[in-house]
Structure 1
Amino acid sequence: MTVLKLRRGILVALALVFCLNGAVAMHAQSGQADVQGVVTDVSGSIVVKAQVVLTNTDNGEKRTVTTASDGRYSIPTVAPGHYSLTITAPTFSPETINGLVIQLDNHVNQNVTLQAGNATQSITVQSAVPAVDTTSYDVGGVVEQAQIEDLPIQNRQYLALALLTPGTTQAASRSFYSNVQSGGGVYYYANGFYWDGVSNQQTEEGDPRQNIPEDSVAEFKTYTASMPADLGWAMGGFTTVVSKSGTNKIHGDVFEYYRDTALTADTSFDKATELAEHTGSPLYKRNQWGGSIGGPILKDRIHYYGAFERTQATTSWTLFEPAGSAAAADYASLLGTFQHPSHDQLLTVRVDDDLKPNQQLFFRYSQEWQLSTANGCGGQTTAYCYDGEFPRKAYVVGHTWEPKPNMVNEARFQYAYISYELGPYNTPIPTKPEQLANPIYSQNVSLAYDFPSLSFGHNYAAVGVESRWQVNDSLTIQKGAHSIKIGADVSYIPYIDSDDLNLNGTYTFLTDQPFDDTPATEAKLSNPYQFTQNAIPQIFYLPSTQQSYFVEDSWRVKPNLTVNAGLRYDLQRGASFLDTYTPNTTTEPVIPGEGNPHDRGDYHNVGPRVGVSWDPFKKGNDVIRAGYGIYYNFIQTELQESEKLNFKNCNISLTTGIAPAGTPPNHVLPYPNPYNGLSVTDYCSTTPLTVATLSPYLQNPYMHQFSLGYSRQLGKDLSLSVDGLYNRGLRDYKIYDLNIPANYPANTARPDPTFYQINQNASTSANEYKGFYVKFDKRLSHRYMYTASYALSSSHDNNPHQAPTNYNNLGEDWGPAQFDQRNALVLSGSVDLPYRIQVGGIYSLRSNLPFSVTTSTLSPNMFPVNTNADGTAQYVPGTTRDQGNRGINYAAINAYRADLDANVNPYMSACRSGVAPGTGSCLSTNLGPKSIASTGYNDFDLHISVIAYKHNSLQLKIVGQAFDLFGTENNLTINTAPTTNSFGAATSGNNVQIGELAAQFSF
């Protein structure tokens, strides 16, 4: 498929979206909630053509419908907020029901009994939305405004509160993205994110595209299973966010959150580094400030809301050599401690306009400016460390139209943009991919120098730009007991990526030499051992499309029984399969197994979904629910880039042999010009290439999701939910070397001598997830609220996106997933105390993560040969994948270590005879579970605030927060190398005991 065909395809898809309603109406979906019921008189007879008006009491927006011939009314697609319901009919007294607080995805059943009377005899009653939704079948949870305001949130990132929902975890480690995995027993790239009804996700890796100011988040819902058919392209969990709108009153706030060195404790790893480098606690200062304002432009019609916040921090990093060492003298002018500033700035502006009683218009603009410096600098290196900017923005326009009282059309349009712009540390940051091919910029990517004690240089730059043009439309029709929804969602996603990795080369020296990054000392360097270079900038264009079409019907079979059936079709084209790519077979060798890219693609992604919810006692307090669905995942752009880079690189590696001391070197590597005046490309490597390709049968991965649950309302604001899940995932990809030698290690010859490795991505990965969730949820009332959630789960897979460890036994890769935390307990709550004091807290307890024990160090008896011709580290004999913390065979590890000591370790005899081992030591052979540091998570965060001043709507609040209050060191990584005596020791950890002070003035 050519780019031209790709664009034509997207135009056809867009035309289909608009044809759903015959009008170009655009609206960002405001919520999935609905209100319905039956209107009767005191005798139980139905009241036909009664007028039902739903009014948003915050902004005056009204929705009007009439009851049908069966007395039923239904108001679909209601935004979260505070509402009243007024019902009028001839010969009856009007009735107004106040106090309806509707959350995202609520299905509110409000039956009404009218009293005989006239229009002057109005009746007003107070009602509330039940704590249990008896018509919903999904598994998940809503985080409401009170929790966002009153619970401690590190960095004011709302998504951290998704962890209040059982089945979510925080096991992923992401550099500048969110690390919440929201369900399904799969990785971060399998989650979905919507903001006001449009995608807030990037296709490069699958992360959330933009952070959102906390003040602009009204509430959000995280689905961990059984989401409806209008949500997709995620085989794991899904999070939908609704932003705040203005009301008829001007309201807003300004705030400042502050941290510094005195409020932040150091981890044991920090302390060890500070002691070794003689730096003491490093400089740390952090300010997070901003505000919001919303109100009317035209009362009851046009409203605005805006939020802004900026986080700026200054830390430091140290380039260090041990005091008194020769290296410390060689590099003295480069060593020291340097500042490390960063900032993240967020802005959101939203305007809502009630054009007519049956039409609403909405516009949102959001932007993020992020700077991060000196990433990867420190210790003994500046090579490959970088400064980065990450600009992001989105424009969203939407329109809601009710052409008939029983029909609502929602359409929405989005243009979004995100890029990462990385430049060598302390040099100008590039802003466009084309700059990396321009000599004017690429001179900033300097020559690098790699000494035994120091790696120094500025040799990494990269720019990736992704935009999204999205249109979606959904039409909801209420017909009797049926709520039918049909829609389409189409995105065109251009993406361009580039890098200058080691563009001007790196010299490697086997000895330390005086060096201060000046021409004088550079000229004096001598006897380089190696020179490497990637001499050609890499720039490639990878556009793609995502198309989805769906229909679903929520059928109220009986007042206590609802059946939801849906069908969704997902289609992805372009970069995901590289079907826009044509190999150049006239100048490049044909890659075995590549096939014709234009024949690639997955057209079979039909996903049925069905759910049942049943109130067995017909009292509105209980619901038994079940769901099943097939959920497809999109293929991330970054994971498929490498095929376009085949044969485009110019990799250079020049090495000199080093003769024994006192003799001339075998070969002198020219310095500072390794090419002796010849063209750089004359030295491109001619060794057999390692290439990458996609399987002709590559398909979108998908998940079968099964859920069964029960919820009960224990009180007006208290509910209990219990859910069981079983998920089976298929067709995620693994990487296979198609050029692996047959009968290896007896035969080392590769089948195709033109290539070294031929790494093919094939849809053969699988996973299995079992989960049991329990949650108590007490909504805010009587001055307190709380949640208590527990998840018992098991997640297994065969190591997706990785090559097999042992081609002779593929089953060795099946085991616990890397993020498999068997037990997770999260407690949260807040209470309003006397004297205007409010206290909130979150306690999290999660069990250990698993790990694998792999090695490339051979032992003569237990591990005489590496069974992988590509040199991949193998599981220690007697173990398989991720058995660490999952009943690993320590006897096998001890036997392997004993075999190393007996046959390989040169200090073995000295150790065994009791003689001091000198520079080495024997390996301990009495390892057991207590030898392994914990990778569990134990954390308590606390929020305390006091209202220092209050007058009418004016309020000054003083806030204190503490994260990891008890100072528990939660280890992030441990040493898993079985050939070291530090095996099992922790190597890095989370921050401990972060204190924060804040002031917030609201009006």
Structure 2
Amino acid sequence: VETRSGEVSSLVSEKQVTELPLNGRNYAQLVLMVPGVSPTNNDFRTRGTGLDSFVGASVNGNGSNQNLWTVDGVNNMDVGSNHTLLVYPSIDSIQEFRVERNSFSAEFGQAQGAVINLITKGGTNQLHGTGFEFLRNDVLNASDFFLNSAGQPKAALRYNNFGFNFNGPIKKNRAFFFWSEEWRRERRGLVRSARVPTAAEKLGDFSGFLTDPLPHDPATCRPDPVDPTATICDPFPGNRIPANRLSPVGLVLLRVYSDPNNPGDPRGQNWIAAPKAPIDTRQDLIRGNVNITNKADLMIRWINEDWVRGTQLGGDSGFPTVDSDWAQLSKSLAVQLTSSLSSSAVNAFQFSRSGNDISITTDPAGKAINDELATKFSTVFPHPQGSPFPTLFAADGYASLLHGAPWSNKEDLFIWKDDFSHVVGAHDFRVGGLFSHNIKNEDTIFGFLLYRFCGTSTRTGNAIADTLLKDLPLGCYFESDHQEKVLARWHDLEFYGNDTWKVQPRVTLTLGLRWSRYGQPYSANDRITNFIPRLYDGADPSSALVQAGTRGFNRALAKNYDKGFQPRVGLAWDIFGDGKTALRAGAGRYLSRTRIGSMLGLGNNPPWTQTVDAGWGGSSSSLDDSPNFRSLDTINPGLKNALATTTSFNAISEDFRPPESWQWNLTISREVMKNTVVEVSYIGNHALHIERPLEWNEVVPSARLAVAQAIRANDPSATGLINAGRRLPGVASIAMTESTGDSSYHALQIWANRRFSDRLAFQAAYTWSHAITNVPLAAFNNGATDPFNYSLDHGDADLDRRQMFVANAVYVLPSIKKWGAVASQILGGWQLNGIVSLLGGTPIDVYSGANTAGLADSSRNIGQRPNLILGVPVYLHNAGDSLQYLNPAAFSLPEVGRFGSLGRGSIRGPGSKNFDFSVVKNWRMYDRYSLQFRAEMFNAFNHSNFNGIDAGLSLDNVARDENFGKPLNPNFGRITATRGPREIQFGLKFNF
């Protein structure tokens, strides 16, 4: 029982780390074992390593990217997103795993969520080692739910995870080493599904199209003689677009789609496949410990990890026709000198360096199509060879076509820190400081954002026909002249003091204060520009553009926050003085560093980057058929000049500041039996200044009704009304990043922990909680439905799970020694391990896809929500069609000029149930050798955990359309993905 501190923390022991069936042998999964940890979706990706793993988990209601992951105290995060890790130390190299969850002392900083630290093993005076191999094969696996439903073969899998470690003395009692090598060779079929056109439709032949909408010829459209407010159009002859009217670019672009292969779902996800993804990883870890003197110890630890994935991870359509290759090389160095200055004073100084180098390139198999498209598609600006094909953001539920390559990133974090502790009587004083110099050179945009256009179905009534028809104006178009690379630099400076004071033999008080200054990132070459709205002169948009270090602004173009004082207090009361029952409480203020990616957009402003924006939030809209628009095949020569007067900008608030959290807890702990402790806690926090990206230059409320009416009437005047009605007329989109979000969290948490004894160790965590916010906590790409009214988005957080239960156990069966040596070898040495996870569902936000409120409708805002029809069932999952989760009839188009009545976070997605088990046989050979065989099952009962639901209605918002008010997305409300099926793994480990 903890009787010295008011903090709430959880320890996972070495025994559990090495024995539990961790899927992919990834240590990040261990964070899910403790209370209050909510993965952002039902697919917390910890099966892989490198960029194939995703550690977006909310701890006690804080943002999923507000945790600090460290290895031996070294920052282990890609700080661009704060969602991926740099290195994944081998499971057999881990000594300890600890999660500081709430009210931790002033020693810890840079996290408003949790501090998650891993300690690596060191060497000893005896030579020890381990060799291992783990194997998987699809022959042993269950079939994926969707592949099985579509009659497709099981996804391929060949998986080998092998390696070794040695540790021992270099010089007895003086110097020691630990060396680990681990490799992964994975060839896995990754299930992908989408709505795609047929082979005939990709050539303009819709004669076999069995369901509406059939395409019509926009050249034949005319007023309906019966109803002059409506329009009637004729179909193409034979429902085929004539060959001479087909777009050459459109024909090539649609070849990126794979052909349908799922006839059972002709209007939904009619393509499903599991193309094989090759993933290779090598990790080297070496650690040395030297007792320089009796009072000074030196530790040096180096990790190098090389991860390569020969297929897309994100930013691609998912079709094998054009794919990306991803690679990451990561490193982590720690040098620590610990000095005993006296019997009661210790000083620890540490230098660390960590970072990564990421690159995304076009897979050779897709190079031909990509290059052909790049050749045929005319661009406003010249682009180098190898640039991606034009991105199609598709309509009507079809998969968008995009290609992420090329892209690159390089991160280096240099940190110097010192911690001094001194025990004086009843006081344990600790003081310390930290300074860091940090580098991140990153492309500001992925390849698919270089030039992109909106797919529509408004001209022909069919999204594929719109793409194929030659010389048809694009719905919208955006192009950037190049991919700017921002050379981000920043410095952190922190100091702390902490006193753990034993006020009485049974009462301990902790008082601490930490001060943090997280310097705003700047660019080493000063190629960033911020748009400052208050400087706009009303005529020239460039009047509000400020370059780094000019006009009285600093190089970061945002103020540094110097008031980072963080008081901490904790109380622990050993109620009966026997160390078995404790009442503890704690509270404090906690700051964390915002992801560095929030400032990258400043490199995309003039004069460093030139753009053309036609309808993407700039000078035109999807309703405008003016000659300023281009088609897929041709460009209006005056396009660039015509749009130069209304450029879009990126901005960061001048007062942008670090997010913070005020935390508190009240905990009672009791040792209920030997080596078994149960904790019951009330946990709370209130977070402020959460990052909020949004469209700042939105249409003001007083001008929205006219815009909404023009949009519903399909009136081209909507474009002018939008631009005239913006907060700053004469300026187009302003993608602003603010720190204006807030959230709250309250929870009952129960934690039972039994240390390994009498052949058994177990942990069980139960959480009953509620997280509320007005900004997404699991993502950072949009932040407000209406930037004039944040209360519209006040509701259940996107990562809110009302109930969670997770348990794990390691149980060694009794020995059979009395039956003799042979029977003991056969029947003895058996061990059972398991992890059980039962999680409630997270909220689903349903979007109407219709601009009924009269906004500029920028993609940088949260989508508008529909009306919720009272009395109509929302959920259909148990009503016949097992894949139709949401009922389209439960939602309707809002009235013109209005937002929908559906509240944010008011609809819940499915929860998840997962059981991972392992059966282990240990053989002891002589005194120093042992052999272990492991049979492990992940998702042992093959439960289908659904985690993908299409929440976009795409309601028709044109009053004269025959489908007015109806959803145009046939996939709406349907389940589109699951977590993986059951997989079986065999492993063999040799220890000495």
Name the residue aligned to 2:983: 994
Distance 1:621 1:740 in 2: 59
Unmatched segments (≥5 aa) in structure 1? 1-131, 430-438, 512-523, 656-664, 859-863, 886-891, 904-926
Match of 1:370 among 307, 311, 331: 307
Name the residue aligned to 2:386: 444
Name the residue aligned to 2:698: 740
Aligned: 1:238 with 2:176: no
5 Å-filtered alignment, 1:148-167, equals 148-167=17-36
- Which is further off, 165-174 or 765-774? 165-174
Aligned: 1:936 with 2:925: no
Q: CA deviation at 1:482?
A: 0.9
Name the residue aligned to 2:544: 591
Distance 1:170 1:765 in 2: 20
Relative to structure 1, the CA distance from residue 385 to residue 970 in structure 2 (aligned partners, 3 Å threshold; closer, same or farther) is same
Distance 1:386 1:851 in 2: 30
Relative to structure 1, the CA distance from residue 189 to residue 898 in structure 2 (aligned partners, 3 Å threshold; closer, same or farther) is closer
Name the residue aligned to 1:434: none
Q: CA deviation at 1:171?
A: 2.2
**Number of residues paired by the alignment?**
796
Name the residue aligned to 2:802: 822
CA contact (8 A) 2:874 2:890 kept: no
Distance 2:749 2:470 in 1: 65
Match of 2:651 among 679, 693, 716: 693
Aligned to 1:740, the other structure's residue is in SS state: coil
Aligned to 1:855, the other structure's residue is in SS state: coil
Relative to structure 1, the CA distance from residue 894 to residue 341 in structure 2 (aligned partners, 3 Å threshold; closer, same or farther) is closer
Match of 1:759 among 723, 735, 739: 735
Relative to structure 1, the CA distance from residue 216 to residue 602 in structure 2 (aligned partners, 3 Å threshold; closer, same or farther) is same
Relative to structure 1, the CA distance from residue 149 to residue 388 in structure 2 (aligned partners, 3 Å threshold; closer, same or farther) is same
Name the residue aligned to 1:145: 14
Distance 1:212 1:797 in 2: 35
Relative to structure 1, the CA distance from residue 479 to residue 584 in structure 2 (aligned partners, 3 Å threshold; closer, same or farther) is closer
CA contact (8 A) 1:442 1:500 kept: no
Query: What amino acid does structure 2 have at the position aligned with 1:203?
Result: V
Aligned to 1:745, the other structure's residue is in SS state: helix
Q: CA deviation at 1:501?
A: 2.1
CA contact (8 A) 1:707 1:725 kept: yes
CA contact (8 A) 1:235 1:702 kept: yes
Aligned: 1:215 with 2:92: yes
Relative to structure 1, the CA distance from residue 884 to residue 417 in structure 2 (aligned partners, 3 Å threshold; closer, same or farther) is farther
Distance 2:446 2:683 in 1: 46
Relative to structure 1, the CA distance from residue 772 to residue 592 in structure 2 (aligned partners, 3 Å threshold; closer, same or farther) is farther
Query: What amino acid does structure 2 have at the position aligned with 1:292?
Result: N
Distance 2:867 2:855 in 1: 11
Query: What amino acid does structure 1 have at the position aligned with 2:414?
Result: W
Match of 1:971 among 946, 958, 968: 946
Aligned to 1:187, the other structure's residue is in SS state: coil
Name the residue aligned to 1:725: 683
Query: What amino acid does structure 2 have at the position aligned with 1:945?
Result: V
Aligned: 1:199 with 2:199: no
Match of 2:578 among 619, 633, 647: 619
Distance 2:454 2:565 in 1: 54
Q: CA deviation at 1:471?
A: 0.4
Query: What amino acid does structure 2 have at the position aligned with 1:312?
Result: R
- The TM-score, its normalising length taken from structure 2, stands at 0.73
Q: CA deviation at 1:533?
A: 4.2
Distance 2:571 2:593 in 1: 27
Match of 1:554 among 488, 500, 505: 500
Name the residue aligned to 2:611: 651
After superposition, give the CA deviation of every residue in 1:653-678 in whole Å (9 maximum; x if it has no partner): 799xxxxxxxxx999979988698x9
Higher relative contact order (CA 8 A, sep 6+): 2
Q: CA deviation at 1:335?
A: 6.3
Name the residue aligned to 1:359: 296
Q: CA deviation at 1:932?
A: 8.2
Distance 1:326 1:966 in 2: 41
Distance 2:641 2:96 in 1: 59
Aligned: 1:959 with 2:946: no
After superposition, give the CA deviation of every residue in 1:760-804 in whole Å (9 maximum; x if it has no partner): 322221110101111221111111111222111111110145332
Aligned to 1:574, the other structure's residue is in SS state: coil
Kindly report the root-mean-square deviation, in angstroms, between the aligned alpha carbons of the 2 structures. 4.1
5 Å-filtered alignment, 1:277-426, equals 279-316=152-189, 325=200, 327=202, 339-375=276-312, 381=319, 385-426=323-364
Relative to structure 1, the CA distance from residue 829 to residue 576 in structure 2 (aligned partners, 3 Å threshold; closer, same or farther) is farther
Aligned to 1:487, the other structure's residue is in SS state: strand
Name the residue aligned to 1:49: none
Q: CA deviation at 1:381?
A: 4.1
CA contact (8 A) 2:513 2:567 kept: yes
Query: What amino acid does structure 2 have at the position aligned with 1:488?
Result: G
Q: CA deviation at 1:550?
A: 0.3
Relative to structure 1, the CA distance from residue 695 to residue 578 in structure 2 (aligned partners, 3 Å threshold; closer, same or farther) is farther
Relative to structure 1, the CA distance from residue 381 to residue 333 in structure 2 (aligned partners, 3 Å threshold; closer, same or farther) is closer
Match of 1:460 among 401, 405, 414: 405
Name the residue aligned to 2:372: none
Relative to structure 1, the CA distance from residue 536 to residue 556 in structure 2 (aligned partners, 3 Å threshold; closer, same or farther) is same
Unmatched segments (≥5 aa) in structure 2? 46-50, 206-250, 260-273, 368-380, 458-467, 616-625, 707-720, 816-827, 876-885, 897-901, 954-966
Name the residue aligned to 1:268: 145
Name the residue aligned to 2:211: none
Query: What amino acid does structure 2 have at the position aligned with 1:534?
Result: S
Query: What amino acid does structure 2 have at the position aligned with 1:188?
Result: S
Relative to structure 1, the CA distance from residue 228 to residue 249 in structure 2 (aligned partners, 3 Å threshold; closer, same or farther) is same
Name the residue aligned to 1:225: 102
CA contact (8 A) 2:656 2:739 kept: yes
Q: CA deviation at 1:718?
A: 1.1
Distance 2:256 2:848 in 1: 39
5 Å-filtered alignment, 1:446-595, equals 446-447=388-389, 460-498=405-443, 499=445, 501=447, 533-575=479-521, 583=529, 589-591=542-544
Aligned to 1:188, the other structure's residue is in SS state: coil
Relative to structure 1, the CA distance from residue 816 to residue 251 in structure 2 (aligned partners, 3 Å threshold; closer, same or farther) is same
After superposition, give the CA deviation of every residue in 1:256-282 in whole Å (9 maximum; x if it has no partner): 11112112223322334x53xxx5223
Relative to structure 1, the CA distance from residue 566 to residue 579 in structure 2 (aligned partners, 3 Å threshold; closer, same or farther) is farther
Distance 1:751 1:616 in 2: 61
Name the residue aligned to 1:93: none
CA contact (8 A) 2:193 2:976 kept: no
Distance 2:676 2:546 in 1: 58
After superposition, give the CA deviation of every residue in 1:390-415 in whole Å (9 maximum; x if it has no partner): 11002211101112221101000012
5 Å-filtered alignment, 1:830-841, equals 830-833=810-813, 834=815, 835-841=828-834
Relative to structure 1, the CA distance from residue 968 to residue 355 in structure 2 (aligned partners, 3 Å threshold; closer, same or farther) is same
CA contact (8 A) 2:844 2:907 kept: no
Query: What amino acid does structure 2 have at the position aligned with 1:816?
Result: D
Query: What amino acid does structure 2 have at the position aligned with 1:474?
Result: D
Query: What amino acid does structure 2 have at the position aligned with 1:846?
Result: L
Q: CA deviation at 1:754?
A: 3.3
Query: What amino acid does structure 1 have at the position aligned with 2:161?
Result: Q
Q: CA deviation at 1:364?
A: 0.4
- The TM-score, its normalising length taken from structure 1, stands at 0.72
After superposition, give the CA deviation of every residue in 1:852-897 in whole Å (9 maximum; x if it has no partner): 2221337xxxxx64456648532223699xx999xxxxxx998874
Relative to structure 1, the CA distance from residue 188 to residue 684 in structure 2 (aligned partners, 3 Å threshold; closer, same or farther) is farther
Query: What amino acid does structure 2 have at the position aligned with 1:817?
Result: A
